[in-house]
């Protein structure tokens, strides 16, 4: 039972590059979400999905794109990376009263 799997764990990007953070869950959860964690600010919601084909914006969606073609997968795309997107990213899935987090992806944009 893998839970929520995120890849890559570490990534360094140059400004203007694009990349995709992958997220997969094997618990058949409807709800999935992406958060970013910055010092002193807790986790902030970027985008979320309530099921395949349905996505919506969270608190800090600018510069990020998502899609949900299957229940299992919820990739996060950075279209043109900026230094302000240097952060730790967490994917999560939830059903009922519990949210399950991935291990995190440490992204540095130089």
Q: Give the binding site for another protein (CB under 8 A).
A: 31, 33, 35, 40-45, 48, 50, 58, 90, 92, 94-99, 101-104
Task: Give the residue from 28, 21, 3, 31 showing the smallest Cα distance to 90.
Answer: 21
CB of 97 to another protein, least distance (A): 5
Q: Give the shortest CB-13-to-another protein separation in angstroms.
A: 19
Of the pair 1, 42, the CB lying nearest another protein is at 42
d(CA 31, CA 54): 10
The structure tokens listed for 58 are 């969270």
Instruction: Please say which residue, 19 or 43, places its beta carbon nearer to another protein.
Output: 43
9 Cβ neighbours under 8 A, 6+ residues apart:
103, 104, 105, 106
Beta pairing partners, 10: 106
Nearest distance in Å: CB 18, another protein: 25
Name the residue nearer to another protein (CB basis): 64 or 90: 90
């Amino acid at each position: 039972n893998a839970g929520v799997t995120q890849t890559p764990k570490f990534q360094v990007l140059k400004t203007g590059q694009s990349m995709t953070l992958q997220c997969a869950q094997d618990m058949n959860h409807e709800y999935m979400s992406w958060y970013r964690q910055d010092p002193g600010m807790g986790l902030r919601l970027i985008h979320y999905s309530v099921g395949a084909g349905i996505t919506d914006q969270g608190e800090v969606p600018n510069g990020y794109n998502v899609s949900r073609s299957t229940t299992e997968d919820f990739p996060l795309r950075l279209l043109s990376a900026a230094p302000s997107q240097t952060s730790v990213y967490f994917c999560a899935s939830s059903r009922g009263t519990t949210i399950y987090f991935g291990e995190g992806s440490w992204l540095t944009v130089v």
